[in-house]
Each structure stands twice: as structure tokens, then as C-alpha cells.
């Protein structure tokens, strides 16, 4: 019963996000234009559950290259409003658009001629009327069976905040190196600062076979190393190609006898590779650009030295530092 209820909650919340996606239009681009033109900061404000969501959105914006600060509406009316400059932009969050504490702040922001972007579920609300642009986060229903606790609505609002952050990241051409600079003390920041040679898998951990090996040898190596791919090298150790688990499945579905499958013919030649002297951040950028999860590491003449897996860069596997 509990599992069925949990699945229903997740279904309802996913429906909410899809509804917000379907309602997305030109107002999103306008919001991006306003934020991009802002010479100072994006001030995020909201109270209650919306305030908690706002704090997370603000933190994500800061991590991804958009200067942001969170302002509590009540504290704002007791002096913290002084932190808001006329050059700022305010992102105000209230699902109903009629939150009393937030509404009291709106007139003060208008007096300062601060542009307001609203995240709300009621486009005819007081908040929406004060805003220069409104991002509609209305959801069909809350996951709470009483329809009282914010559930689907807060999830949708949080997702909209992520959409803003990622779209801004893209416009600003924010890179992995920039992310690293914003996280000098974080575990991911530390991972991305080291050289590829410090984090790559080498030796017996590298899934590799020779170019003249039979197809079955590739399958065995793929299963043994469990990294989703096998590299092909020649007799001098030079990297020739790569075969992924997807390639293996396609070969097996061809209807040929396993002894007839030509591994060399099925491999992808000249795979994407990186030098061990470059940074882990560079490797992550290459993986993102090519939408791959494994990356070959080669020396100056193209000999295979090791392999990088996305999970190692993001900390989901073993990550080894040289001290």
C-alpha cells in the first residue's frame, strides 16, 4: 500500500513538472534577458516552503555563474531591504501570488524601481501584477491528498529555478573550470582540479583487447571490467577504436553466428581521447560535449595509457588522489 501511494505521489509530481513545461513560453526568454542585463545581483525572496525553495534556487544560481542572494520578506521589512539596490533584479516566489508578507514587500521594491520576476501559479495574482514578467508554475494538483501541503507546486517551482539556472549557464557559456573556481573547497571542485593522470584507471583495470582478438574476447572483457566499453589497440599499444555495450548488443542482434562477427569492423575508429597531462575539468568538458561516459587517455603518439569514467569524476566510484 505504501509503495503504491509513493508511486502515485511521484506520478502526480511528474505531471506537475510536465504541465509547467507545456506552459513555458516567451516569458521565460524575457526573464532570461532581464537577468542577463542585470549589472549586479538576482535577489530571490519568498517565505515558508517557497522561501526554502528560493534558498536552494539562489544557491544553484551562485554555483552556476549568476550572482544571487536570498532575502527573507519579513526581515526585509525590518531593515534588510537596505541590501536591495536599484540595479538588482528580484525573483519573487509565491504559488498563490497573494502571500501577505511578500505582498508588503512588493510596493517597496516598486518604489526602488527594481524589476520583479514572479514565480507563481496564479497569473492574475497581486504578485503577478507587480511583476514585469511572470513564470507560471501552476500544477494540476498537489500530491498531498488533502490538497493543503505544498508538494507538486514546490517541486515544479524548484524545477523552474533549475531551468533558469541552466539556461543562464548556457547563455554565459559557463564552463566546468568556472564551476571549479566557485567550489574551491567542495569535493567536486577538488576532483576537477587534479590532473587526468591522477584519476584515470590504468593497468588491469583498463578494458582493452588487441585488434585481432575474436568477438567473444571483447564480450568477456566488457563484462569483466564493467565500464560499458572496450578499447581496441594495435600491437604497439596504439589506440585504434572503441566498442561499447550498445555496439555489442547491435552486433549480437545481427543474426550472425558469434564466430562470424568481426569485432574490428564493428568498432568506432579514432575515439575521443585526452592527454593525461590535462585537468580533470577538461575531461569533464569533453565528456559533456560529446555526451559520453568513458574517455580514453593516450600519450603523445596515441598509445593507450588509461581510461576515465564519468562516475570517477563525479565521485560515484573510486577516486584516487596522489599525495
According to the model, what pLDDT value does residue 43 have? 94
Identify the three-state secondary structure at position 174.
Answer: coil
pLDDT band at 322 (very low <50, low <70, confident <90, very high): very low
pLDDT band at 91 (very low <50, low <70, confident <90, very high): very high
According to the model, what pLDDT value does residue 21 have? 95
According to the model, what pLDDT value does residue 182 have? 63
According to the model, what pLDDT value does residue 206 have? 92
CA pair distance 222, 244, nearest whole angstrom? 8
Query: What is residue 317's DSSP assignment?
Result: S
Give helix 152-171 / helix 26-37 axis angle, nearest 10°: 60
C-beta of residue 279 within 8 angstroms of C-beta of residue 194: yes
Number of helices (H) and strands (E) in the chain: give both, helices first: 15, 12
Cβ neighbours of residue 179 closer than 8 Å, sequence gap 6 or more: 63, 64, 188, 189, 192, 281
- CATH for 190-314, options being 3.40.50.300, 3.10.580.10, 3.10.20.740, 3.90.190.20: 3.10.580.10
Q: Which fold has domain 2-174?
A: Rossmann fold (3.40.50)
Identify the three-state secondary structure at position 70.
Answer: strand
Question: Minimal CA–CA distance to 173: which of 289, 308, 316?
Answer: 289
According to the model, what pLDDT value does residue 132 have? 95
**Is it the case that residue 116 has pLDDT exceeding 90?**
yes
- What is the average per-residue pLDDT within 188-199? 74
C-beta of residue 42 within 8 angstroms of C-beta of residue 91: yes
CA pair distance 246, 258, nearest whole angstrom? 16
Question: Minimal CA–CA distance to 55: which of 63, 64, 46?
Answer: 46
Q: What is the mean pLDDT of the chain?
A: 86
Radius of gyration of the chain (CA): 26
- What is the average per-residue pLDDT within 11-22? 93
Q: State pLDDT tens for residues 271-308.
A: 999 998 888 888 888 888 888 889 999 999 999 999 99
According to the model, what pLDDT value does residue 323 have? 27
Do 2-174 and 190-314 show the same overall fold? no
- What is the average per-residue pLDDT within 96-100? 92
Hey, how many other C-beta atoms are within 10 angstroms of the C-beta on 275? 15
- What is the average per-residue pLDDT within 25-39? 94
pLDDT band at 320 (very low <50, low <70, confident <90, very high): very low
Q: Mean pLDDT check: name the lowest of 53-62, 152-161, 185-194, 226-235.
A: 185-194
Question: Minimal CA–CA distance to 217: which of 248, 196, 181, 187?
Answer: 248
Domain ranges in the chain are 2-174, 190-314
- What is the average per-residue pLDDT within 77-103? 91
Diameter of the chain by CA atoms? 79
Q: State pLDDT tens for residues 39-69.
A: 989 999 999 999 999 999 999 998 888 889 9
Q: What angle do CA 180, 162, 137 make, to 5 degrees?
A: 170
Grid cell in block for residue 160: 523552474
Give helix 245-252 / helix 215-225 axis angle, nearest 10°: 140
Element (H, E) at 184: none
- What is the average per-residue pLDDT within 101-113? 89
**Is it the case that residue 190 has pLDDT exceeding 80?**
no
Identify the three-state secondary structure at position 307.
Answer: strand
Amino acid at each position: 500500500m505504501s509503495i503504491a501511494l509513493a508511486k502515485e505521489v511521484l506520478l502526480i509530481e511528474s505531471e506537475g513538472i510536465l504541465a509547467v513545461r507545456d506552459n513555458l513560453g516567451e516569458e521565460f526568454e524575457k526573464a532570461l534577458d532581464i537577468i542577463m542585463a542585470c549589472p549586479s545581483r538576482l535577489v530571490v525572496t519568498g517565505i515558508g516552503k517557497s522561501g526554502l525553495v528560493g534558498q536552494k534556487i539562489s544557491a544553484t544560481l551562485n554555483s552556476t555563474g549568476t550572482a544571487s542572494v536570498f532575502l527573507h520578506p519579513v526581515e526585509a521589512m525590518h531593515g534588510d531591504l537596505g541590501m536591495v539596490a536599484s540595479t538588482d533584479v528580484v525573483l519573487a516566489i509565491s504559488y498563490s501570488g497573494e502571500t501577505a508578507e511578500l505582498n508588503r514587500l512588493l510596493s517597496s521594491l516598486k518604489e526602488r524601481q527594481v524589476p520583479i520576476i514572479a514565480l507563481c501559479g496564479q497569473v492574475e495574482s497581486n504578485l503577478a501584477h507587480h511583476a514585469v514578467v511572470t513564470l507560471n508554475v501552476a500544477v494540476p494538483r498537489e500530491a498531498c491528498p488533502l490538497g493543503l501541503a505544498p508538494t507538486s507546486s514546490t517541486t515544479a517551482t524548484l524545477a523552474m529555478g533549475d531551468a533558469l539556472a541552466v539556461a543562464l549557464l548556457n547563455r554565459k557559456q559557463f564552463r566546468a573550470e568556472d564551476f571549479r573556481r566557485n567550489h574551491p573547497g567542495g569535493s567536486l571542485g577538488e576532483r576537477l582540479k587534479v590532473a587526468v593522470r591522477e584519476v584515470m584507471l590504468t593497468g588491469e583495470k583498463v578494458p582493452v583487447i588487441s585488434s585481432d582478438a575474436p568477438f567473444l574476447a571483447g564480450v568477456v572483457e566488457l563484462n569483466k571490467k564493467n565500464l560499458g566499453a572496450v578499447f581496441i589497440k594495435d600491437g604497439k599499444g596504439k589506440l585504434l577504436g572503441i566498442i561499447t555495450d550498445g555496439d555489442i548488443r547491435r552486433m549480437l542482434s545481427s543474426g550472425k553466428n558469434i564466430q562470424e562477427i568481426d569485432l574490428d569492423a564493428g568498432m568506432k575508429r579514432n575515439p575521443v581521447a585526452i592527454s593525461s597531462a590535462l585537468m580533470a575539468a577538461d575531461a569533464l568538458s569533453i565528456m559533456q560535449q560529446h555526451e559520453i561516459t568513458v574517455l580514453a587517455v593516450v600519450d603523445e603518439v596515441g598509445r593507450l595509457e588509461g581510461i576515465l569514467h564519468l562516475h570517477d569524476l563525479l565521485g560515484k566510484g573510486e577516486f584516487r588522489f596522489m599525495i
